[in-house]
Amino acid sequence: MKMVNAIIKPFKLDDVREAISEIGVEGLTVSEVKGFGRQKGHTELYRGAEYQVDFLPKVKLEIAVNDDVVDRLVKAITESAHTGKIGDGKIFVYDLQQAVRIRTGEQDVEAI
Protein backbone atom coordinates (compact mmCIF):
# COMPACT_ATOMS: atom_id res chain seq x y z
CA MET A 1 0.00 0.00 0.00
CA LYS A 2 1.08 3.58 -0.66
CA MET A 3 0.09 7.00 0.60
CA VAL A 4 0.12 9.61 -2.14
CA ASN A 5 0.27 13.27 -1.09
CA ALA A 6 -0.19 15.91 -3.77
CA ILE A 7 0.07 19.67 -3.35
CA ILE A 8 -1.79 21.42 -6.18
CA LYS A 9 -3.28 24.77 -7.15
CA PRO A 10 -6.78 25.15 -5.67
CA PHE A 11 -8.55 25.77 -8.98
CA LYS A 12 -7.32 22.40 -10.30
CA LEU A 13 -9.04 20.37 -7.54
CA ASP A 14 -12.16 19.47 -9.55
CA ASP A 15 -10.07 18.41 -12.56
CA VAL A 16 -7.90 16.18 -10.37
CA ARG A 17 -10.92 14.68 -8.58
CA GLU A 18 -12.52 13.77 -11.90
CA ALA A 19 -9.28 12.28 -13.23
CA ILE A 20 -8.70 10.05 -10.21
CA SER A 21 -12.35 8.94 -10.20
CA GLU A 22 -11.94 7.80 -13.80
CA ILE A 23 -9.13 5.41 -12.81
CA GLY A 24 -11.19 3.93 -9.97
CA VAL A 25 -9.80 5.71 -6.92
CA GLU A 26 -12.72 6.03 -4.53
CA GLY A 27 -11.55 8.21 -1.67
CA LEU A 28 -9.29 11.10 -0.82
CA THR A 29 -8.77 13.68 1.89
CA VAL A 30 -8.48 17.35 0.93
CA SER A 31 -6.94 20.08 3.08
CA GLU A 32 -6.50 23.76 2.35
CA VAL A 33 -2.87 24.62 3.04
CA LYS A 34 -0.43 27.47 2.42
CA GLY A 35 3.15 27.26 1.27
CA PHE A 36 5.75 28.28 -1.25
CA GLY A 37 8.39 26.69 -3.40
CA ARG A 38 10.71 28.26 -5.89
CA GLN A 39 8.36 31.17 -6.57
CA LYS A 40 8.89 32.46 -2.97
CA GLY A 41 5.48 34.14 -2.79
CA HIS A 42 4.56 37.32 -4.62
CA THR A 43 3.68 41.00 -4.14
CA GLU A 44 0.06 42.21 -4.15
CA LEU A 45 -1.52 45.65 -4.16
CA TYR A 46 -4.36 46.29 -1.68
CA ARG A 47 -5.98 49.73 -1.24
CA GLY A 48 -2.96 51.39 -2.73
CA ALA A 49 -0.48 49.64 -0.45
CA GLU A 50 1.91 47.01 -1.69
CA TYR A 51 2.54 44.00 0.51
CA GLN A 52 4.41 40.70 0.29
CA VAL A 53 2.47 37.42 0.28
CA ASP A 54 4.96 34.81 1.48
CA PHE A 55 2.63 31.80 1.58
CA LEU A 56 0.42 30.97 -1.38
CA PRO A 57 -2.86 29.06 -1.05
CA LYS A 58 -2.62 25.42 -2.12
CA VAL A 59 -4.67 22.24 -1.76
CA LYS A 60 -3.19 19.09 -0.25
CA LEU A 61 -4.61 15.73 -1.32
CA GLU A 62 -3.98 12.56 0.67
CA ILE A 63 -4.86 9.31 -1.09
CA ALA A 64 -4.23 5.76 0.17
CA VAL A 65 -4.04 3.19 -2.65
CA ASN A 66 -2.91 -0.33 -3.43
CA ASP A 67 0.57 -0.62 -4.97
CA ASP A 68 -0.77 -1.54 -8.43
CA VAL A 69 -2.66 1.78 -8.72
CA VAL A 70 0.16 4.17 -7.79
CA ASP A 71 1.63 4.78 -11.25
CA ARG A 72 -1.80 5.43 -12.82
CA LEU A 73 -2.72 7.74 -9.92
CA VAL A 74 0.47 9.78 -10.18
CA LYS A 75 -0.03 10.09 -13.95
CA ALA A 76 -3.68 11.16 -13.52
CA ILE A 77 -2.77 13.83 -10.96
CA THR A 78 0.19 15.08 -12.99
CA GLU A 79 -1.81 15.43 -16.19
CA SER A 80 -4.92 16.98 -14.61
CA ALA A 81 -3.08 19.46 -12.32
CA HIS A 82 -0.61 20.63 -14.98
CA THR A 83 -0.78 24.25 -16.13
CA GLY A 84 2.83 24.64 -17.24
CA LYS A 85 3.35 27.57 -14.90
CA ILE A 86 5.47 27.80 -11.77
CA GLY A 87 3.68 26.56 -8.66
CA ASP A 88 1.83 23.63 -10.28
CA GLY A 89 2.74 21.54 -7.24
CA LYS A 90 4.39 18.33 -6.12
CA ILE A 91 3.48 14.68 -5.58
CA PHE A 92 5.00 12.56 -2.82
CA VAL A 93 4.58 8.78 -2.51
CA TYR A 94 5.16 7.02 0.81
CA ASP A 95 4.95 3.41 1.96
CA LEU A 96 1.81 2.83 4.01
CA GLN A 97 2.33 0.15 6.64
CA GLN A 98 -1.20 -0.30 7.94
CA ALA A 99 -4.75 0.90 7.33
CA VAL A 100 -7.81 0.13 9.44
CA ARG A 101 -11.45 0.96 8.69
CA ILE A 102 -12.79 1.93 12.10
CA ARG A 103 -16.43 1.03 11.39
CA THR A 104 -15.80 -2.59 10.33
CA GLY A 105 -12.32 -3.37 11.58
CA GLU A 106 -11.18 -4.24 8.02
CA GLN A 107 -7.47 -3.89 7.58
CA ASP A 108 -4.95 -2.92 4.92
CA VAL A 109 -6.12 -3.21 1.29
CA GLU A 110 -9.70 -4.06 2.34
CA ALA A 111 -9.76 -0.87 4.45
CA ILE A 112 -8.84 1.44 1.60
pLDDT at position 112, please? Answer: 86
pLDDT of 44 over the 80 cut:
no
Alpha-carbon gap, residue 19 to 54, rounded angstroms: 30
- The pTM of the full predicted model, rounded to 2 decimals, is 0.85
CB 53 within 8 Å of CB 29: no
pLDDT at position 12, please? Answer: 97
pLDDT at position 46, please? Answer: 66
Residue 11: CA count within 13 A, CB half-sphere: 5
pLDDT digits 0-9 by tens, 55-99:
788 999 999 999 999 999 999 999 999 999 888 999 999 999 999
Taken in order of first residue, the domains within the chain and their CATH numbers are: 2-111 (3.30.70.120)
The more confident residue out of 43 and 10 is: 10
Mean pLDDT over the full length of the chain: 90
pLDDT at position 36, please? Answer: 77
Alpha-carbon gap, residue 8 to 22, rounded angstroms: 19
